[in-house]
Amino acid sequence: MKATLLQCTDWRKAAYAARTCYDSHDKSAPESDLKLLQNIIKRGHDSVLEFINITWEIECSRACSHQLVRHRIASYAQQSQRYVKLNAENEQWYMMPPKIEHHPDTTIIADYAILMDDIERFYGRMVAAGIPPEDARYILPNATNTVLTVSMNLRSFRNFLSLRLERHAQWEIRGLANEMLIALYEYPEVSLLATQGVKE
């Protein structure tokens, strides 16, 4: 899985909104504004974090994207299997879970790869026979890789992190949550606010 940060709005918009609540714009300064937001998070009044919006390009399996879109306070645009044909010639088109890839019974690894090759071949055969990709896609597994553009406000992202960095979360979405957070490190104030009080 992979997460590339596309955009993050200025964290000071949230500070401005918070200062509107307290009529304290005259006290605004970068250090005090950050402390104000941290105190607001501690008190649980984090609605002003919705003024900070973050957008990533995400690559993951369809199994992972099905979990991702359960976080409904977000915006998603996902690569279409109806209009975009499976292209296995230039890329690995499916995910092999680590528990399969490193299984001591090597026949499981081989059989998984054979099954994926068979699906790829039959998909190509159907499309070549004139079956539209929107119908051929019905045989594609949850392991199929996909690309999404995802936007969340910081309040929603904090909720996402609290659920998906948790040690019982499924391995792929946990890894994706970590990658999304790492991508956000180029905005240190936002990543600090994102993780404050969030337990792994």
Q: How many domains does the chain have?
A: 2
Specify the CATH number for the domain of residue 45: 3.30.1360.170
State the pLDDT at residue 75: 97
Give yes or no: residues 74 and 160 share one domain. Answer: yes
pLDDT at 186: 95
User: pLDDT at position 90, please?
Assistant: 62
Residues 8 and 73 both lie in one domain: yes
**153 inside domain:** yes
E strands in 79-171: 145-153
**For range 26-46, the mean pLDDT:** 93
CB 54 within 8 A of CB 8: yes
Which positions are catalytic?
164
Same domain (yes/no): 62, 103: no
Q: Specify if 90 maps to a domain.
A: no
Report H helices in 97-186: 98-101, 106-128, 133-136, 154-164, 171-183
Note whether 175 and 111 are same-domain residues. Answer: no
Tell me: do 163 and 134 sit in the same domain: no
pLDDT of 4 above 80: yes
**Domain residues for 106?**
98-139
Take residue 194 and report the two structure tokens written for it. Answer: 């994102």
DSSP state of 129: T
